Chains A and B, each alone.
Chain A
Amino acid sequence: MTARVFVLLGTKKGAFILESDERRTGWSLKGPFCETWPMNHVIADPVSGTIYAGGGNEWFGPAVWKSTDLGTTWTHSSEGLAYQAGEEAIKSVWSLAPRNGRLYAGVQPAGLFSSDDGGASWSHVAGLRAHPTAPNWQPGGAGLILHSIVPHPDDADQIWIGISSAGVFYTADGGQTWAPRNTGTRCDYLPEAERYPEFGQCVHCIVIAPNHPSRLYQQNHCGMYRSDDGGQHWESIESGLPSSFGFPAVTHPRDPSTLFLVPLNGDIAGRYVPDGKAAVYRTRDGGTEWQAMRTGLPQQNAFFGVLRQAMAADRLEPAGIYAGTNTGTLFASADEGETWTDIAHHLPPILSVETLVL
């Protein structure tokens, strides 16, 4: 049976959907959807195929959009997606994560919400903002955003989240209580003696390894890391990479030791690919050795970056990898990063990339 492969894009001007078959050689593009609202994260429930798009509009505020027909029609809701009266209002939805029928949403200013009715209404997972460190969380460049939601694949009570720039937090009781998980990740932007605090790290992206749920990877503002104990300790894996700065991290659909990153030239150097030459870096051994994959990517005058949610893998064999740039180009590889093709360009800045295979 021929698979339908979808790449879901969140952009500064709406959501887009690309479709191909399992060969992944020809692609069609539909969009923009969601009334061209900025869409920070567009995902699909892999079981139902329902598409959710989280974002926020300067006029109309935050909402999660939903399509049950692969983008043809959409609804939207933000019922319950709010803090108490008197608190700073939620500006936008930044991240979405489905887990066994429940949907999680991370928002700005940082907080976590859940929905058990497919995004029609939301409940605040209030334990996170009740953490004693919360009054001292500081916003990163994109604001105080909860951008990474990593549910444990086998235990509904365990979730890791990432907040810029408060760091990684973990719950083992379904969100009632949380603990920082930042040991070993550094803050180069603090005085030397203060570079390993309990919280305050500028985490950019965290992902969980497949078939190895105690293994996490992290792209930080200051380094790339791996943890093999559920985030209790982080070990630098940046040796062999051209910089310690980047935004996305993408795992392989089956191999827990494979990771894809897009290092950029540095936080004070423009934040584009080093020397104007694009490369996706791949490790096959958990971060000891890195290989620069350049074939098909521009090797001169490339001044783009790939944002924290703008790279993804599909679940086919070999895995497809997709990287969307902040200049509106989508690069795709159907061979795990060996070769790349520009499959869409002239789009708005790409904020998120996810996949769906039906």
Chain B
Amino acid sequence: MAAVTVLLPPALLRLFPGCDPEPAVSATTVDEMVDALDARWPGMRDRLCDSTPRVRRHINIFIDGERATLETRIAPGAEVFVMTAISGG
């Protein structure tokens, strides 16, 4: 599988001390990307996805400026932006 670069949000990095903020992982879909992240930082899948399964409601994953789902394909060499949405109170 081709390498893609993932840009992780600061609030997520705080939950995984020592985590690379821009890891390169091998994946062809967002689902595979999340699995690869979880393999390196156990528990990260649960923080990004719920058990439905789907990307959590207030987590946005952007590829080429478009919101992605777990099924979205990722082109080799792509940059994937994982972002925390506006939320809270």
Residues of A within 8 A of B (CB): 35, 58-61, 63, 76-79, 81-87, 89-90
Contacts and interface: CB of A to CB of B under 8 A. Distances in A.
Interface stretch (B21-29, B52-60, B72-80): B52-60
A77 B43 contact: yes
Interface string B16-54: 000000000000000000000000000100111011110
Given A76-B15, A83-B51, 18 more contacts: A35-B11, A59-B56, A59-B84, A59-B85, A60-B12, A61-B46, A61-B50, A61-B56, A63-B46, A78-B46, A81-B46, A82-B46, A85-B51, A85-B52, A85-B53, A86-B52, A87-B51, A90-B51
9 contacts: A58-B58, A58-B87, A59-B58, A59-B59, A59-B85, A60-B46, A77-B43, A86-B52, A87-B52
B14 A82 contact: no
Interface residues of B, number: 19
A59 B46 CA distance: 11
B82 to A, nearest CB: 11
Interface of B: 11-12, 14-15, 43, 46-48, 50-53, 56, 58-59, 84-85, 87-88
Nearest to B56: A61
Given A59-B84, A76-B43, A79-B43, A35 B52 contact: no
A53 B37 CA distance: 25
Nearest to B46: A78
Contacts of B12: 59-60
A14 to B, nearest CB: 12
Contact of B15 (A35, A81, A84, A90): A35
A52 B40 CA distance: 25
A35 B14 contact: yes
Contacts of A86: 52
